[in-house]
Amino acid sequence: MPNALLYAIATLIWGSTWLAITFQYGSVPASASVAYRFLLAGLLLLGWCKLRGERLQLSRTEMAWSALQGALMFGVSYMLVYEAEKHIASGLMAVLNSSMVVINLVGMSLVFGRRMDQKSILGAALGILGIALVFWPELTDVRTASAWLGVACGLGAALLASLGNLVAQHNRNQQIPLLPSIGYGMLVGGGIALIFTLIHHQGLVFDTRPSYLASLLYLSIFGSVLAFAAYLTLLGRIGAAKSGYIAVAVPIVALLLSGWFEGFQWRIWTVAGIACAVAGNIIMLLDIAPVLRKLGLTRLAARLV
């Protein structure tokens, strides 16, 4: 499957999960919803792997790395996301989540020795600037202790997710079977959320409303199995730095959906922010050096190679 299609699948699905998550709020504790989502997703994915005849038996080392990836990427980070959205707007959470782009760049440099080229730095900077402009009103509204707690949880979620990306990169480098490792990781992440729910005596409440059941199935099958399979396949091909740029594209999709379904009000900042984010996407993912040379910008083209 082409990289562009993998990128589009992950971006479009995750961009829609912001709306789906809103149907999860209510009588079910957030950690329980995270547990249900990833336990179901893990079982479905491992069942699919068995039908395909993939190797499900991993070595102890492979299982340990898969579990670590799951704990970081599917467990604790998602619980922090749900906690953050109790205190801050989802738009601000999107801004905080986009910091993964920079964290991934730094992490890939420190852990795997990949240099931070000017093209990646410029693309990341434009992307984060674009998201910040889009959600500028929410950024200026962080004043209370509760809001700052939400910011701390959001940044913590982005940091843990980025660490999960680095572990995923390691797992791909070690050629650990992709889909089985994701499946086991989801079971571990869901198990952590389940244990957290029980320890805090929140109760394993389940919501049987059609809206909750539909959102759970969508988040499990599309938001977890399909999107993460596409994303982690892309990560194995182009690295955590470039694939992590999806964190910038996702809020733009979420914004468009919010405009259609939630009446989001567009402003000049919105248009400017989207323009910056799109420019960052183009710089990060496409080879623009030939275009710059044709425009006579040979020095800039040389820097962005």
Reported confidence tier of residue 301, pLDDT bands at 50, 70, 90: very low
Per residue in 15-47, pLDDT tens?
888 778 878 877 888 889 999 999 999 999 999
Lowest mean pLDDT among 126-130, 156-160, 209-213: 126-130
DSSP 179-205: HHHHHHHHHHHHHHHHHHHHHTT----
**Contact between 280 and 130 (Cβ < 8 Å):** yes
According to the model, what pLDDT value does residue 253 have?
Answer: 80
What is this structure's pTM?
0.80
Query: pLDDT digit string (tens) for 155-194?
Result: 899 899 999 999 998 998 899 999 999 999 999 999 999 9
Least confident of 177-181, 240-244, 258-262, 288-292: 288-292
Q: State the residue range of the domain holding 142.
A: 3-303
Distances (CA, A) of 45 to 63, 171, 184, 263: 16, 18, 9, 36
Place of tokens 């395909």: 52
pLDDT > 60? residue 291 = no
Is residue 10 over pLDDT 50?
A: yes
pLDDT (0 to 100) of residue 289: 55
pLDDT of residue 296: 54
Kindly give, in sequence order, each residue whose CB lies less than 8 Å from that of residue 89, ignoring residues fewer than 6 positions away: 135, 138, 141
Domain count, the chain: 1
pLDDT digits (tens, 9 = 90+) for 51-102: 988 889 999 999 999 999 999 999 999 889 878 877 877 666 777 777 787 7
Mean pLDDT score, 277-284 = 72
